[in-house]
């Protein structure tokens, strides 16, 4: 079933390809018909898998559009409207991942295509953004500090030293190092130890009381974020996917992740990967940070949108990370569950997400994000069948 989606997913990327780069969606609603930094870079990763000339050209044009609209301070736009030139660096707050995705996307594009002409044009922008990100550490200790609503989950209470944003930056720094640029920092050990607390590493805790509290609660996955006084252990699919693509996990960590995925299956009835879990409801400690944090309308009902919704993009990236770890059985089980969901949804049209509780589809249709997620799943299946461990990130 996932293989049968190949033509449709590729065609959607074709439809989203413009002379300015990848649009987020073919729909002209809620600013989706723009060049979004994170959406276009994710589509760009999918293009490195498809290797279709039209997709690679759209990836290149996305990079050029974003670079051309970089601010004087080095900030990469959250999105650019190619029709009128309007540029946004974030609405209620700036978007950290616009910058980290740009650096990573630029490096991987050059690494996989060898397009020196484009690289030489955007390299100054990449290095300027790299310098800008140092200012977002605030304390010169290597971790980015993301404000509330400061990344893709802009209506969800994730903030502080986030796994997702910091792994994106670390992957970008790794890619730059592979291109011959000295790494600007080295936080690998610090990050691994603190985002997955283990009792043997208490001396290296970023915040000892919060670290020990996390150990008492039990750790089944990489923490979504770290705050002074709190290690938030909710599951973040995007962040954990990036961690799987960056580190080699121990057998104990793999076993714990198996337990976490089994928990999803028990709670929702299917082996699906939600964007964040558990869901936030009115009894949750951070409900007040969720209930009024929206731009158009409240969408984060339990199981919807960021609040437990299953996003094909993050589910696909998670399976890609599992394939890189050699977890073939789990990859097959997750993708099989996704296929079963598609069989039960005749109105599937590459929506942003579906609710694992109500099983209903949600969000906008014709999303490049979702097409990319399907392509990531296809690549994960190919990898486990070929017994390969190398992804486009490597």
- Return the beta strands (E) in 109-198 as ranges: 161-162
Buried residues in 162-183 as b, exposed as e (16+ CB within 10 A): bbbbbbbbbbbbbbbeeeeeee
* Token pair listed for 311: 């996003």
Domains parsed from the chain with CATH numbers: 6-386 (1.50.10.10)
In contact, 268 and 356? CB cutoff 8 Å: yes
Q: How far apart are CA 171 and CA 185, in angstroms?
A: 12
From the list 228, 231, 103, the residue with the least C-alpha distance to 174 is 103
Q: How far apart are CA 148 and CA 160, in angstroms?
A: 8
Q: Average of pLDDT values for 155-183?
A: 96
* Token pair listed for 255: 């076993």
Partnered with residue 273 across adjacent β-strands are none
> How do residues 7-48 score in pLDDT, each as one tens digit?
999 999 999 999 999 999 999 887 889 999 999 999 999 999
In contact, 5 and 350? CB cutoff 8 Å: no
| Residue 374, pLDDT above cutoff 70 | yes
Which of left, alpha, beta for 149 (phi over 0: left; psi -120 to 50: alpha)? left
pLDDT value, residue 30: 74
Residue in the structure block whose two tokens are 């955007």? 122
Q: Write phi, then psi, for 183 (nearest 5 degrees).
A: -65, 135
> How do residues 202-254 score in pLDDT, each as one tens digit?
998 999 999 999 999 999 999 999 999 899 999 999 999 999 999 999 999 99
Q: Write phi, then psi, for 307 (nearest 5 degrees).
A: -85, 60
34: Cβ–Cβ under 8 A, 6 or more apart, which residues? 23, 24, 79, 80, 81, 82
8-state DSSP, 200: G
In contact, 96 and 152? CB cutoff 8 Å: no
**Secondary structure class of 288 (helix, strand, coil):** helix
> How do residues 272-324 score in pLDDT, each as one tens digit?
999 999 999 999 999 999 999 998 899 999 999 999 999 999 999 999 999 99
- Return the beta strands (E) in the chain as ranges: 17-18, 21-22, 35-36, 79-80, 87-88, 161-162, 225-227, 230-232, 235-236, 276-277, 353-354, 361-362
Q: How far apart are CA 146 and CA 159, in angstroms?
A: 5
From the list 1, 103, 126, 110, the residue with the least C-alpha distance to 56 is 110
* Average pLDDT, rounded, for the chain: 96
**Secondary structure class of 387 (helix, strand, coil):** coil
What's the pTM value of the predicted model, to 2 decimals? Answer: 0.97
pLDDT value, residue 1: 67
* Token pair listed for 259: 């337990």
């Amino acid at each position: 079933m996932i293989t049968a989606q190949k033509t449709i997913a590729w065609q959607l990327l074709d439809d989203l390809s413009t002379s300015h780069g990848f649009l987020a969606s073919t729909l002209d609603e809620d600013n989706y018909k723009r060049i979004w930094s994170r959406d276009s870079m994710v589509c760009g990763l999918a293009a490195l898998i498809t290797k279709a000339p039209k997709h690679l050209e759209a990836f290149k044009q996305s990079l050029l559009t974003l670079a051309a609209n970089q601010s004087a301070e080095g900030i990469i736009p959250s999105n650019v409207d190619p029709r009128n030139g309007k540029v946004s660096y974030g609405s209620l707050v700036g978007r950290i991942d616009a910058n980290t995705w740009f650096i990573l996307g630029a490096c991987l594009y050059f690494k996989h295509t060898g397009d020196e002409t484009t690289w030489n044009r955007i390299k100054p922008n990449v290095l300027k953004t790299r310098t800008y990100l140092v200012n977002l550490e605030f304390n010169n200790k290597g971790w980015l500090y993301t404000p509330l609503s400061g990344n893709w989950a802009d209506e969800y209470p994730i903030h502080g030293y986030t796994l997702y944003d910091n792994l994106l930056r670390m992957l970008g720094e790794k890619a730059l190092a592979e291109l011959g640029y000295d790494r600007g920092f080295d936080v690998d050990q610090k990050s691994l130890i603190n985002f997955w607390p283990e009792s043997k590493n208490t001396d290296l805790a970023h915040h000892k009381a919060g670290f020990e509290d996390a150990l008492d609660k039990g750790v089944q996955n990489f923490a979504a974020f770290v705050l002074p006084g709190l290690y938030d252990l909710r599951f973040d699919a995007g962040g954990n996917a990036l961690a799987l693509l960056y580190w080699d996990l121990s057998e104990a960590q793999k076993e714990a992740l198996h337990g976490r995925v089994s928990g999803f299956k028990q709670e929702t009835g299917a082996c699906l990967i939600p964007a964040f879990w558990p869901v936030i409801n009115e009894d949750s400690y951070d409900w007040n940070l969720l209930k009024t944090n929206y731009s158009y309308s409240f969408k984060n009902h339990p199981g919807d949108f960021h609040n437990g919704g299953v996003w094909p993009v993050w589910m696909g990236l998670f399976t890609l990370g599992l394939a890189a770890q050699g977890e073939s059985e789990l990859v097959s089980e997750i993708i099989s569950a996704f296929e079963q969901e598609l069989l039960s949804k005749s109105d599937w049209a590459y929506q942003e997400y579906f609710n694992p509780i109500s099983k209903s589809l949600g969000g906008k249709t014709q999303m490049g994000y979702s097409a990319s997620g399907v392509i990531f799943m296809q690549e994960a299946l190919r990898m486990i069948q070929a017994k390969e461990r190398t992804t486009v990130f490597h």
